[in-house]
Amino acid sequence: MSQETFTEKMLLVEDGEGITVSNDKLDHFMELADELLAFRNLFHGYVKQRIAHLTTDDGLEEMNKTLSRLTDDLQTQVMDIRKVSLHKAFAQFARLVPSYETEGLDLEVDKTVAQSLAASLLPVMRNACGTLRLVASQAGDMITLRVEDGSAEGPGSGLNDVKTAVSSLGGTVIFESVKDQGTTLTLQIPLRKSIGVEQSLVATSSGILIAIPLRSIREIKPVKDLDFSYMKPFWMMEHSGKSIPIATYQQLMRPETIDQYKFDLAADELAVVIMHNDSGVALRIDEVKDQLETVTRPFDCITQVVPGFKGISHLPGDQLAYMVSAEDFLELVSQHCMAPATSLAA
């Protein structure tokens, strides 16, 4: 086995006492922790149902609390084991940039995040002409990575790769350029409790039970409070100075069913704005059911693939919810409407 292959397959513990653990085993350990969390959610729903029919059941409630505590502790320990320093992940950058300075790269992140950032930033490093400074910091549950390039050319074509990678991690990218001073690329990425676990909003749309990752949601508003305009084939609403489509899931699948002369408004309906990169769509929601941690299971030969979703999630009460993929939802929109979002201020 080559050194490169060995490094990709193994996590090496260099300081203090430690062991060599394969990434495959770490990933399997994470999957087991996610399975436990899914079971905890089911058990929590069962406990709520039982307590609702009983005056009191202290023993059952205590078991529920203990299971929640152990699950949380296990998730935290697994995530700590998976962490690697940005200094190690970005080690190759020093060989690519003529003048390279760093600060805060001892910060540790999940190995999946580190690998994604390293791969996407590689073209940016290769395009650097002047002194490049890489600064990492953490504030609360947010990691900030600044790439300061003293040249006037900036990151070039590599910027799109960075945006795609950071967006997949639930983060944002800001590019700034000052004449004769250079450019700054700022990446902000939220820390996640687990790679397989997401805080989600559980709701119904067109009678379908869905789970929407909170990191994809930018705004929730009552539909009755919104102003609409029609732009074939969708009705549009305003969000951050732009016009974005608003529709139920059924209308996203079949926009030809939309009445262009009348916006069919249901009582107490909500609009949930879902964003991916710079594009957005407002999903019309019948009812919000809950907000909780969900574990996504990819579609397989038994659970048929449904457009706009990336898998299913087991919820308390033996329910199944379809997990929304912001990227796939926007793809549904683009299939019917290729025009970019237009500014209402224009």
Query: Residue 344: its pLDDT value, please?
Result: 35
Domain regions of the chain by residue span: 3-82, 84-190, 197-343
DSSP secondary structure letter of residue 48 = H
Characterize 166-182 residue by residue with b for buried, 16 or more Cβ atoms within 10 angstroms of its Cβ, and e for exposed: bbebbbebeeeeeeeeb
Is the CB of residue 322 less than 8 Å from the CB of residue 236? no
Query: Residue 345: its pLDDT value, please?
Result: 34
Query: Residue 54: its pLDDT value, please?
Result: 65
CA gap 41, 276 in Å, rounded:
28
Classify residue 69 as exposed, middle or buried by CB count within 10 Å of its CB (0-12, 13-18, 19+): exposed
SS3 50: helix
Query: Residue 138: its pLDDT value, please?
Result: 92
For residue 65, give Cα distances in angstroms to 178, 180, 198, 259, 269: 53, 59, 20, 50, 34
Q: Between 58-81 and 23-52, two packed helices, what is the crossing angle to 10 degrees?
A: 160
3-82: CATH number? 1.10.287.560
Provide the CA 151 distance to its chain's centre, in angstroms: 32
SS3 47: helix
Query: Rounded to two decimals, what is the model's pTM?
Result: 0.58
Query: Residue 155: its pLDDT value, please?
Result: 58
Give average pLDDT by consecutive 10-residue segment, the chain, 346 residues.
39 48 73 75 73 67 75 75 88 86 91 87 83 90 89 66 82 85 88 70 91 91 89 90 90 84 80 88 92 78 73 80 88 70 35
Task: Please tell me if the domain spanning 3-82 has the same topology as the one spanning 84-190.
Answer: no
84-190: CATH number? 3.30.565.10
SS3 224: helix
Query: Residue 16: its pLDDT value, please?
Result: 46
CA gap 329, 254 in Å, rounded:
13
- The secondary structure element, H or E, covering residue 46 is helix 23-52
